[in-house]
Amino acid sequence: MLVFFRLGLDCLGFADAQAFAFSGQDAVLVGLLLIQIPAIAILLSRLLKGPTRQLPLNSTSARPELLGLVSVVVPTLNEAKRIAPCLEGLTRQTYEVREITVVDSCSTDGTPDLVIEAQRRDPRFRLITDEPLPSGWVGRPWALHSGFLASSPHSEWILGIDADTIPHPGLVCSLLETAIAEDYDLITLSPRFILNYPGEIWLQPALLMTLVYRFGPAGDQDNPPERKMANGQCCLCKRSLLVELEGYTSARHSFCDDVTLVRHAAARGAKVGFLDGANVLKVRMYDGMTETWNEWGRSLDLKDAAPVAQVWGDLWLLTAVQGLPIVLLGICGFLVTQGNTTLPALLALGINGFLVAIRIALNWAIAPSYDLSQASFRWLFWLSPLADPLAVLRIFLSSTQAPTTWRGRVY
């Protein structure tokens, strides 16, 4: 193509080397635009659902008819540094909670002692130790499965909740009322993230945005089963559905067991919801940029819950609309200032400026999902679009690597 373009320039008298160099730049820009434009159409079709999504949940007061409907299961492995707020938050849930079973996987840091202390204040707590991890199982779904099997058969709902969460009073009641009113079989919630340190404040929103770009906002229920999103940090499920699914066995091999379970349930005809829980649930996941990169980044590809074609299709989308725009905006801006005002250069500048503007607007949209009250350098949150290429790179790396360790376990 470049040869024919050069011949055309020669005929018109523009045979100098600079003209040919610009034509090469333009050809590259045209190729990138052909990659980006279809991805932009897909992205806009997802983001435009935001105004019609289901509203965030709010805390509600329990009613007598909800008495004892829920068994809570908390999987733990060396969570002593962060489980206390979770235990306190669960204590403040009212009589809709029948029991709170902490399933410990032989912690060595004093986690069981904290649970025993909580049991002295609230008899609904009980501590069990799960059996050694069977072959083919990942630790978290095995602990949840063990807790489900040990739960009271009189509870109609099972709530799996992680040790790093901080449940607000009324969380469980709000979940129950929503599930019953909307006839859900399973609900998971997106939380409000607590960020404290500069590196995580800058990187974590960019990683979160990879989920928004792929699956749309929390509260959007139009995704087909194979594209359902979930967050197992807070997952309310009907006991009858778990019985039908044979507990958590369908997600036993998965490092993103929450999404795997939800997609399996949706494919079986269950009504599942991924809702905005920022008003009823907080979470302090990881300390600092390194932990965020290593621990959260390696599960965000969701390859255990998706076919290979979907994983690579999502990588194309993320590269086109999140990884490239901030880079191309700078490059095209430079080219235009250097005199390249050809149509490809101007079009690439405009399209990538548009994508960066969308990303900045989305930063405002996700701001309520963050608690930065204890953070230093909180202004770095607004610079998180600059971390987008790094976030997309992390998804690439995670998609091509299988975890060998997780939460202290070796696989």
Please state the domain extents for the chain: 52-302
What DSSP element (H or E) covers 178? helix 171-182
pLDDT digits (tens, 9 = 90+) for 268-312: 999 999 999 999 999 999 999 999 999 898 889 999 999 999 999
pLDDT digits (tens, 9 = 90+) for 136-189: 999 999 999 999 999 999 999 999 999 999 999 999 999 999 999 999 999 999
Percentage above 90 pLDDT, the chain: 83
CB neighbourhood size of 42 (10 A): 16
Widest CA span in the chain: 90
| Location of structure tokens 């999987």 | 75
| pLDDT band per the 50, 70, 90 thresholds, residue 18 | very low
CA angle 120, 126, 130 (to 5 degrees): 145
The pair of structure tokens assigned to 345 is 């250069």
- In this prediction, residue 21 carries a pLDDT of 46
Query: 97 versus 64: which is more confidently predicted?
Result: 97
Residue 360 to residues 41, 195, 353, 384: CA-CA distances in angstroms?
Answer: 18, 19, 11, 9
Question: With DSSP H G I counted as helix, E B as strand and the rest as coil, what are the percentages for the chain, rounded to 5?
Answer: 55, 15, 35
- In this prediction, residue 406 carries a pLDDT of 66
Which one, of 239, 235, 301, lies nearest residue 272 by Cα? 235
d(CA 257, CA 231): 9
Instruction: Please report which residue ranges of 12-78 form alpha helices under DSSP H.
Output: 17-47
Query: 340 versus 11: which is more confidently predicted?
Result: 340
Which one, of 407, 205, 167, lies nearest residue 300 by Cα? 205
Whether the pLDDT of residue 5 is over 70: the answer is no
Q: Is 183 helix (H, G, I), strand (E, B) or coil?
A: coil
Amino acid identity for residue 362 in this structure: L
Amino acid identity for residue 396 in this structure: F
To the question of domain 52-302 being in CATH 3.90.550.10, the answer is yes
Mean pLDDT of 28-35: 94
| pLDDT band per the 50, 70, 90 thresholds, residue 23 | low
pLDDT digits (tens, 9 = 90+) for 201-252: 999 999 999 999 999 988 777 889 999 999 999 999 999 999 999 999 999 9
- In this prediction, residue 8 carries a pLDDT of 40
Whether the pLDDT of residue 76 is over 70: the answer is yes
